[in-house]
């Protein structure tokens, strides 16, 4: 009897495991399991147009698949990661409160390292994966140097670009690298700033400058070495020491995030801002957030580039529904809408030559906008540093400058 009871328990555990970890290779079963589920998607909530896009996706998912999507708006993705960490520590290995996370970089690395992600690598088994451009977009399979291994699904591409209002500033005088940006700031005090780390855009500015100033860029692709950290980052903090007194409010305050920085450009308080989306300026113009005289520029020597993803925690309560959401987000319809500057302007992760003619036509019909640089004008893509650099740079920034708005 004891042996029979143990066998029945093992069978029950196996059955429960199958329910908890739906297999995207059996998509009909995933769709059946997902119907009626509510997916709690933890995603940055600081942009009205992105929030509106997520709301549209939720309406489509509800109508097509019976999946309800709840946008849990974050100001820092690390907060969602902390929820999953706390649930694992408490032994809550199923029925978790986070079903999907908008993620990349150090947050993905942390969840992968701690075994907090749905496995095995589900992303490349999604039906719409067939359209993903894995051949020409290497960051789809390597997230900030960390192998993705199908543990997260790509959602959009990012590349650092700068914006200015040509009604107020001379396009020919725009900086061409970090050093000339410092020279520009000396000639135009108070007209540049960046968000205070750990805001993602602010921390990205630190990484961009360090990538330009470091003697050997390859060291940034490896984990931080405590013994050499201070020597490697010394040029960055010497640069910031010179830049801060020249910035908006003399570096005594910082924009809270990118939307706040964008508003300062619109209000005429800043002359140069930057974002991680080549279509951001055109999107802001289309939505009436910036004047139609704003234009984009980039650094000829290169700027940071990466992919952003969605990931499913290992204990997600609605894992099947999360798979359906992830698959919808890489559909040609959803990707084309996302790339429309009137909606968002976020570049697609799809390969045009993999699409059906009608879907390819969706992208060809897009007007990318007057402020969007052509792909061959964006300059080289610089690799993101290893995720460990983000934490160390932010910590050192706080220790040195410690500004609180």
Is the pLDDT confidence value at 87 over 70? yes
What is the C-alpha to C-alpha distance for residues 192 and 174, in angstroms, rounded to an integer? 12
Choose between 185 and 2: higher pLDDT. Answer: 185
What is the C-alpha to C-alpha distance for residues 248 and 264, in angstroms, rounded to an integer? 10
Is the pLDDT confidence value at 65 over 60? yes
Q: What is the chain's mean pLDDT, rounded? A: 92
Tell me the average pLDDT across 227-244. 97
Pairing of strands 146-147, 142-143: antiparallel
Tens of pLDDT along 343-353?
A: 999 999 999 99
Contact 49, 41 (CB under 8 A): no
Which pLDDT value is given to residue 405?
Answer: 54
Tens of pLDDT along 284-324?
A: 999 899 999 999 999 999 999 999 999 999 999 999 999 99
Tell me the average pLDDT across 366-378. 88
Is the pLDDT confidence value at 9 over 90? no
Tell me if residue 273 falls in helix, strand or coil: strand
Third-level CATH fold of 2-155+308-374: D-Maltodextrin-Binding Protein; domain 2 (3.40.190)
Confidence of residue 2 (pLDDT cuts 50, 70, 90): very low
Is the pLDDT confidence value at 16 over 50? no
Angle between helix axes 387-401 and 105-113 (nearest 10 degrees) is 120
Looking at the chain, the domain(s) classified CATH 3.40.190.10 span 2-155+308-374, 161-305+379-401
Buried b (16+ CB within 10 A) or exposed e, 289-301: bbeeebbbbbbee
Is the pLDDT confidence value at 6 over 50? no
The number of beta carbons lying within 10 Å of the beta carbon of residue 2 is: 6
Among residues 118, 51, 35, 159, the alpha carbon closest in space to that of 310 is found at 118
Tens of pLDDT along 134-163?
A: 998 889 999 999 999 999 999 999 999 999
- Lowest-pLDDT range of 3-7, 40-44, 218-222, 262-266: 3-7
Q: How many residues does the chain have?
A: 405
Which pLDDT value is given to residue 402?
Answer: 82
Tell me the average pLDDT across 256-276. 96
Among residues 360, 358, 340, the alpha carbon closest in space to that of 350 is found at 360
Contact 18, 320 (CB under 8 A): no
Which pLDDT value is given to residue 268?
Answer: 97
pTM for the predicted model, two decimal places:
0.83
Lookup: tokens for 239: 């640069």
What is the C-alpha to C-alpha distance for residues 221 and 365, in angstroms, rounded to an integer? 38
Tens of pLDDT along 68-85?
A: 999 999 999 999 999 999
Which pLDDT value is given to residue 404?
Answer: 56
Which pLDDT value is given to residue 110?
Answer: 96
Which pLDDT value is given to residue 136?
Answer: 85
Confidence of residue 378 (pLDDT cuts 50, 70, 90): confident
Third-level CATH fold of 161-305+379-401: D-Maltodextrin-Binding Protein; domain 2 (3.40.190)
Report phi then psi at 401, rounded to 5.
-115, -35
Is the pLDDT confidence value at 60 over 80? yes
Which pLDDT value is given to residue 13?
Answer: 37
Percent of the chain with pLDDT over 90: 88
Contact 267, 273 (CB under 8 A): no
In terms of Cβ atoms closer than 10 Å to its own Cβ (0-12, 13-18, 19+), residue 73 is middle
Helix H or strand E segment including 68: strand 68-74
Which pLDDT value is given to residue 403?
Answer: 67
Contact 338, 156 (CB under 8 A): yes
């Amino acid at each position: 009897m004891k042996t029979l009871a143990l066998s029945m328990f093992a069978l029950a555990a196996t059955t429960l495991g199958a329910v908890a970890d739906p297999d995207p290779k059996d998509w009909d079963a995933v769709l059946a399991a997902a119907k009626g589920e509510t997916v709690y998607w933890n995603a940055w909530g600081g942009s009205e147009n992105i929030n509106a896009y997520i709301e549209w996706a939720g309406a489509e998912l509800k109508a097509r698949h019976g999946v309800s999507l709840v946008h849990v708006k974050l100001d820092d993705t690390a907060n969602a990661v902390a929820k999953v960490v706390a649930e694992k520590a408490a032994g809550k290995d199923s029925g978790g409160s986070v079903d999907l996370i908008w993620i990349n970089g150090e947050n993905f690395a942390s969840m992968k390292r701690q075994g907090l992600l749905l496995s095995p690598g589900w992303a490349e088994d999604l039906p719409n994966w067939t359209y993903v451009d894995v051949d020409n977009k290497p960051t789809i399979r390597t997230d900030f140097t960390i192998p993705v291994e199908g543990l997260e699904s790509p959602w959009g591409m990012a590349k650092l670009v700068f914006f200015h209002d040509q009604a107020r500033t001379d396009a020919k005088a725009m900086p061409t690298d970090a050093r000339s940006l410092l020279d520009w700031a000396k000639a135009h005090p108070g007209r540049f700033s960046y968000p205070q780390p750990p805001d993602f855009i602010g921390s990205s500015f630190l990484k961009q400058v360090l990538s330009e100033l470091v003697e050997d860029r390859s060291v940034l692709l490896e984990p931080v070495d405590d013994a050499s950290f201070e020597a490697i980052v010394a040029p960055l903090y010497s640069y910031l020491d010179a830049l801060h007194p020249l910035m908006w409010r003399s570096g005594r305050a910082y924009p809270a995030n990118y939307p706040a920085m964008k508003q300062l450009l619109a209000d005429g308080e800043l002359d140069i801002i930057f974002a991680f989306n080549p279509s951001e300026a055109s999107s802001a113009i289309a939505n009436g957030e910036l004047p139609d005289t704003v234009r984009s520029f980039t650094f000829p020597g290169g700027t940071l580039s990466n992919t952003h993803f969605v990931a499913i925690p290992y204990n997600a309560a609605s894992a099947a529904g999360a798979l359906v959401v992830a698959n919808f987000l890489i559909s040609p319809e959803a990707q084309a809408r996302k790339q429309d500057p009137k909606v968002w302007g976020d570049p697609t992760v799809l390969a045009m030559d993999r699409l059906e003619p009608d879907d390819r036509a969706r992208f060809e019909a897009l007007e990318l906008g007057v402020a969007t640089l052509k792909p061959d004008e964006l300059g080289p893509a610089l690799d993101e540093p290893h995720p460990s650099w983000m934490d160390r740079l932010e910590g050192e920034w706080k220790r040195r400058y410690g500004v609180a708005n």
